[in-house]
């Protein structure tokens, strides 16, 4: 074997070792950046160095699962064996949006209230609709995911004069690193978090003070007065300071009037600590319930029959009673 042949062998050997090292590095990087069970889209994977052909090899090797076109999941394992019994849940999706894809989206409205224990008509399997609030549109592939819940998207900045939700993710990373900030984000302390899964992943959600205003924004077309009434019964404990700031920041005259009307109706202890003089109620009447009665104080029409329902607060803190079914709000992302 001549000198040039030996040189080619050495060169090919070096290239092989470099490619082998690169392959190991990318695989280790995926294990670090994409935890088991979470999702990433093609754009994120490409930016992280995973080409289309490499993704195909990872799928063939079982290191990635294709979920829908352009979306992949890192498989879950139990004792070193892939756990095929663990379905994709809405929590996996939201954690992936927030922590992996850095989407400025949080869980809010009715879903946040249900997760806070205030939901009345929630099955043991959890909520069937997940209301998401964000600074920008949610990815279109959300509606194609094989999950048992519907995703309903809302423009977060429509309702509040707040700093962008994207500011929350610096604190989410602090939580992931083991830190325990008192509150997430800088939106007047109106976001908090819950934890999910064996990875103890944080999910950013609206506090109950912000969530009730988000829900009231959906009246009367996509939520009902009765549903709001049930939730307000259970809203025994809130932060008056946070509530006052959110009422000042709220862009909607309708929402501000509705909240104060429900607050007067249920007379929780915190009502006396609301700074009503700082809340702009606008002018003119608001027709919110066809065929209802006009409340002269707040100049809104409300149902005549709300007082026919007797809501109780059982020891669990959840409101009890019956109410009509309600429809979804915002932009339905899953048919």
Domains identified in the chain, total number: 2
Confidence of residue 9 (pLDDT cuts 50, 70, 90): very low
How much is the pLDDT for 100? 92
Q: DSSP string spanning 269-322?
A: GGGGG--GGG----SS-B--STT-EEETTTTEEE-S-GGG---B--TTS--BS-
Buried b (16+ CB within 10 A) or exposed e, 262-274: bbeeeeeebbeeb
Dump pLDDT digits (tens) for 78-105.
Answer: 655 556 657 899 999 999 999 899 998 9
CATH label of the domain that carries residue 23: 1.10.10
Say yes or no: 7 and 151 in one domain: no
* Average pLDDT value over all residues in the chain: 80
Alpha-carbon distance of 121 to 230, in angstroms, equals 10
**Average pLDDT score over residue span 182-195:** 67
Q: What percent of the chain has pLDDT over 90?
A: 52
Say yes or no: 34 and 98 in one domain: no
**Average pLDDT score over residue span 224-244:** 93
Dump pLDDT digits (tens) for 272-317.
Answer: 999 999 999 999 999 999 888 999 999 999 998 887 654 444 333 3
Decide which of 45, 60, 82 is a domain's last residue. 82
**Whole-prediction pTM:** 0.81
Alpha-carbon distance of 142 to 26, in angstroms, equals 27
- The pair of three-digit structure tokens given for residue 325, joined into one six-digit string: 């079914």
Neighbours of 105 (CB within 10 A): 27
> What strands lie across the sheet with 331-332, from one edge to the other?
191-196, 201-206, 105-107, 129-134, 150-155, 331-332
CA-wise closest residue to 99 among 166, 155, 146: 166
């Amino acid at each position: 074997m001549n000198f040039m042949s030996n040189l080619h062998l050495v060169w090919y050997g070096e290239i092989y070792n470099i490619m082998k090292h690169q392959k190991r590095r990318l695989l280790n990087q995926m294990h670090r950046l994409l935890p088991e069970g979470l999702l990433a889209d093609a754009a994120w994977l490409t930016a992280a160095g995973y080409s289309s052909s490499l993704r195909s090899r990872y799928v063939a090797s079982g290191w990635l699962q294709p979920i829908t076109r352009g979306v992949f999941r890192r498989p879950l394992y139990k004792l070193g064996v892939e756990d095929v019994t663990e379905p994709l849940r809405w929590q996996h999706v939201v954690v992936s949006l927030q922590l992996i894809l850095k989407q400025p989206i949080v869980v809010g409205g009715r879903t946040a209230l249900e997760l806070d224990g205030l939901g009345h008509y929630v099955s043991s399997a959890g909520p069937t609709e997940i209301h998401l609030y964000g600074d920008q549109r949610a990815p279109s592939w959300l509606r194609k995911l094989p999950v048992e819940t519907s995703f309903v998207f809302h423009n977060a900045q429509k309702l509040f004069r707040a700093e962008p939700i994207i500011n929350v993710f610096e604190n989410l990373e602090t939580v992931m690193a083991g830190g325990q900030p008192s509150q997430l984000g800088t939106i007047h302390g109106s976001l908090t978090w819950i934890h999910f899964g064996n990875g103890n992943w944080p999910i950013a959600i609206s506090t109950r003070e912000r969530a009730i205003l988000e829900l009231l924004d959906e009246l009367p077309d996509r939520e009902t007065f009765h549903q709001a009434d049930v939730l307000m019964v259970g809203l025994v404990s809130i932060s008056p300071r946070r509530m006052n700031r959110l009422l000042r920041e709220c862009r909607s005259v309708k929402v501000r009037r509705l909240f104060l009307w429900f607050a007067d109706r249920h007379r929780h202890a915190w009502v006396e600590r609301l700074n009503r003089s700082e809340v702009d109620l606008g002018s003119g009447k608001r027709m919110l319930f066809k065929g209802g009665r006009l409340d002269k104080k707040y100049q809104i029409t409300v149902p005549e029959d709300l007082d026919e329902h007797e809501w109780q607060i059982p020891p669990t803190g959840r409101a009890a009673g019956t109410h009509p079914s309600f429809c979804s709000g915002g932009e339905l992302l899953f048919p």
